[in-house]
Amino acid sequence: MLKGINPLIGPDLLRALAAMGHGDELVIADRNFPSHRVGTRVVELRGHDAPTVAAAILELLPLDRAVEQPVLRMGTADGDTPPVHAEVIAVATPELADGQSVGEVERFAFYERAAGAYLVVVTGEDRPYGDFILCKGVL
């Protein structure tokens, strides 16, 4: 346990976040995401939902200011914005710079992009499409 660090962030996740470089991407995945097939580095936080995990990570992880959309969400089949997306967008929006927004990536393109991510964090999120990508910036 360390002072000032959310207890949800265990040593494996803390080490992985610290090792990421600027421009590296991190996937926050729901419980149905093929995390171990897609990712080479996987940290499991199955006892927590995606918005809770996103909030804890964003306490430590600076978002990339050099890209227009440093937060991406998996697109839904019907093009709507499910509650899990709205909740993560609400958590991420205060971390965005002026002119930045949360983007959307079509489901199968999301899987391809996720395969290149530095890290996949598996949550216990049970709502469909509870999958997001964060791009790390610099301090």
Per annotation, catalytic residue among 22, 36, 48, 85: 22
Separation of first and last alpha carbons in the chain: 24
Contacts of 2 by beta carbon, 8 Å cutoff, 6+ apart = none
* Catalytic residue check, 85: no
Q: How many degrees, rounded to 5, is the angle at CA 36 between CA 88 and CA 61?
A: 40
Cα 57 to Cα 37: distance, rounded to the nearest angstrom: 22
Cα 61 to Cα 139: distance, rounded to the nearest angstrom: 9
Q: Which residues are catalytic?
A: 22
